Structure 1
Amino acid sequence: MAKALRWSEFFKCPINPADTKDFFFHFHVEGERVFVRDAEKRTLEIDFDKNHLDYQRRGHQGKNELIAKALGYAKGCRKVLDLSVGMGIDSVFLMQLGFQVTGVERSPVLYALLTEAFKRTEKEYLKSYQLYFADSLQFLQEHKGQFEIDSIYFDPMYPHKKKSALPKQEMVVFRDLVGHDEDASLVLKEALSWPVRRVVVKRPMKAEELLPGVIHSFEGKVVRYDSYVVG
């Protein structure tokens, strides 16, 4: 009940409303389990230990992973700011690769799910993760120079973008919760003004550059990582 009360106050929503039809999303607290279910009975849950979204990637190539190369692992970059945590899939992978990650998530529901998942996890390498509830653009504007960051990572959502790591049911809920990052180019422009060594944007392979100035693109089969070298 204490957990339910906390999130009820955070969302400014009632606990056990008389008519659940008044709400499209329902936030469930059932013991240790926390999840979201929409009016169509589709469920979204974040659990780093159950690993149903392949959080524990086996057989990875360490510093040779494209995302690690893009963020400058070989150049000594270790401290990363993730501007769009989402389901935490990339953030958790970066922690697994040895990066120290600070994350920003603007969706209150995803922030709540992530917060509970980080509290609940038994994976020691995730214990140091720092998560902030904020709009990315506002966070960048208000905290410039206040964090010791080597690289910034940004994975914006667009209408044409596919979150292939998510099962279809969860992808629908995720899209409904997150919407589209219409201000993505503004976020990137602000990120490029930070005193960091690299800013990396994850893009679908055939998508245009978010902003001109890409120094190098690290290309995979489905996505690429556009790297902007700042300093």
Structure 2
Amino acid sequence: MSVVSGSLKASRLCIISSEAATEKASRWATFLNCPINPPNPEEFFFHLFIENERVYVRDQERRLLEIDFDKNHLDYERKGHRGKNELIAKALGIAKGCHKILDLSVGLAVDSVFLTQLGFQVTGVERSPVLYALLQEAFEKTQKESLRTYQLYYSDSLNFLKEKKGQLDIDSIYFDPMYPHKKKSALPKQEMVVFRDLVGHDEDAAEVLKEALTWPVQRVVVKRPLHAEQLLPGVRHAYEGKVVRYDTYVVG
């Protein structure tokens, strides 16, 4: 997929680059349409640090967001999982021969990476340009063989669904939309604060699901908080865990 620009609003993002990473920083600066090592970095809300071995984001409060599939600080290596008996695997139809998955909202890729552990072949879509940059860097440097074939697209999910319908070999679609979180007594850990600031909420989630249901796939699965309402009517089966559930829409 060709990408012209992934820029944020002016004054939201700048790149802080080490001298050794100038070439990489230049590529991402073109994609993100943002300055490198500006004289006034304190005026920018997000700082994308590009170093030799690391690419990460800090906000004005110095909160850190880094994606590294091998360091596992965001639980990318789930040991002791139940394989095809995991709720997410059942929902996506692993017992029905569904193995090729389209993840419409990759985010931090925690679920995407877990799906590859379960034996699924995953294609992902991410709309946040900064998250896309972090993800691309993480996929390029990972040593995990299961992630070598992962295909990541930078796109808005709704546009992607409209443009790519019938062009990809997909068995099931997975969608984990961001939803407005309730106020809590304590802030989430720092990664989630930065993540929410970068991604915002999926206000078009119902429209995305409606479009996904027109694809020639067997199932569309939506991850929801356990007690949240259905995103759209027509759920065939809900696979419920302790805090989340997977609403399954059977298409084909």
TM-score grouping bracket, smaller chain normalisation: over 0.9
Q: Distance in 2 between matches of 1:198 and 1:161?
A: 30
Partner of 1:110: 131
1:53-90 deviation per Cα after TM superposition (whole angstroms, max 9, x unaligned):
11010000000000000000011000000000000000
> Is contact 1:217–1:227 with CA below 8 Å preserved after alignment?
yes
In the comparison of the two structures, how many residue pairs are matched? 228
Identify the residue that residue 221 of structure 1 maps to in structure 2. Answer: 242
Cα distance in 2 for residues equivalent to 1:130 and 1:104: 9
**Partner amino acid for 1:202?**
K
- Any stretches of 5+ residues in structure 2 without a counterpart? 1-21
Q: 1:189 aligns with which of 177, 195, 210?
A: 210
Instruction: Please give the secondary structure, in 2, of the residue aligned with 1:86.
Output: coil
Q: 2:161 aligns with which of 117, 140, 148?
A: 140
Match in the other structure for 1:64: 85
Letter paired with 1:159: P
After the TM superposition, which residues 1-231 of structure 1 pair with which residues of structure 2 at under 5 Å, given as runs?
Answer: 1-160=22-181, 168-231=189-252
| Partner-residue secondary structure (3-state), 1:26 | strand
* 2:79 partner amino acid: R
Matches of 1:194 and 1:22, distance apart in 2: 44
SS in 1 for 2:234: coil
For normalisation by structure 1, the TM-score amounts to 0.97
C-alpha change, 1:76 and 1:229, in structure 2 (3 Å) is: same
Deviations 1:129-149 (A, max 9, x none): 000000000000011000000
Q: Distance in 2 between matches of 1:158 and 1:16?
A: 34
Structure 1: how far apart are the matches of 2:159 and 2:173? 15
Deviation (angstroms), 1:187: 0.1
**Deviations for 1:90-147, whole angstroms, at most 9, x for unmatched residues?**
0000001000000000000000000000000000110000000000000000110000
SS in 2 for 1:6: helix
Shift of 1:2: 1.0
Q: Structure 1: how far apart are the matches of 2:182 and 2:56?
A: 24
CA distance in 2, matches of 1:171, 1:22: 22
Q: Quick one: distance in 1 between partners of 2:72 and 2:132?
A: 18
Q: Deviations over 1:20-67 (max 9, x none)?
A: 122100000111100000011001000000000110100000000000
Contact 1:161 1:204 in 2 (8 A): no
- The residue type equivalent to 2:218 in the other structure is R
Runs of 4+ in 1 over 3 A off after TM superposition: none
Question: TM (normalized to structure 2)?
Answer: 0.89
